[in-house]
Structure 1
């Protein structure tokens, strides 16, 4: 969504069962207003999921909630306008599940509250798009990353060293 050159874009990601004790996944998202990070989160999911695409779908729901709130806040402040929130995910199965309102056998067990994402996509309030894993800036919030990748992610999200 744009206004006067301003664009709000979110990235969301998840690991799969990263908590070794409870086997719960970690969700993460980051929102940028142009290239400036304005909101980010890393949170352990409240449920145990059965697949990586389900973990990503839950992460997408968390990100959509935050994105809609941010869009409404920025619209109220007359900073930005637009009808939808852009969210980028690196899991095509999760994107397709959110875009397709048909109940699938592989998704019927997902808690109803997480289908908020599907509802917002179908109403045109959230625009989901696939992004390559190399361009997934939310990776930093969901898993440990190797040194080189860590440095790239730090730079992309605008973290600078104070030394």
Structure 2
């Protein structure tokens, strides 16, 4: 985000990030701390600050529709093909 600003790209609205963890979204909106959240990683606090500053907006996304999983998790073939399609990609066989 800051890199884009240095390159001359002005941000006109929040950067939307899809998240499949509703607890993360709730904790980012409400800075209420309790026993279960007191040892949260520094990355979470950075994200919460971005949400509070209006730079990032978190939106819930069902785990089955989390496109980032194709890059980060081993998936069953059917799920891989579905997420690949959501990215707008095709297999080499489909092109020929």
TM-score class, shorter: 0.7 to 0.9
Q: Comparing both chains, which one has the higher relative contact order based on Cα–Cα distances under 8 Å and sequence gaps of 6 or more?
A: 2
Q: Any idea what SS the aligned residue of 1:116 has?
A: helix
Work out the number of aligned pairs and report it.
Answer: 93
Q: Which has the higher strand share?
A: 1
CA positional deviation for 1:160: 2.6
Equivalent residue, structure 2, for 1:158? 88
1:72 is aligned to 2:9: no
Distance in 2 of aligned mates of 1:133 and 1:102: 25
> 1:109 is matched with which residue?
39
Query: What RMSD, in angstroms, separates the aligned Cα atoms of the two structures?
Result: 2.2
User: Partners of 2:77 and 2:68 in 1: how far apart?
Assistant: 16
Q: Are positions 1:146 and 2:76 aligned together?
A: yes
TM-score after normalising by structure 1: 0.50
Q: Which has the larger radius of gyration?
A: 2
Matched, 1:97 2:27: yes
Structure 2, gaps ≥5 residues long = none
Alignment CA distance shift 1:71-1:106 (3 Å): farther
State the secondary structure of the residue aligned to 2:91: coil
Deviations along 1:27-73, one digit per CA (max 9) or x if unpaired, are xxxxxxxxxxxxxxxxxxxxxxxxxxxxxxxxxxxxxxxxx246536
Return the alpha-carbon distance in structure 2 between the equivalents of residues 149 and 128 of structure 1.
24
Quote the Cα distance in structure 2 between the aligned partners of 1:113 and 1:149: 28
Give structure 1 regions of 4+ aligned residues with deviation exceeding 2 angstroms: 68-74, 111-114, 158-163
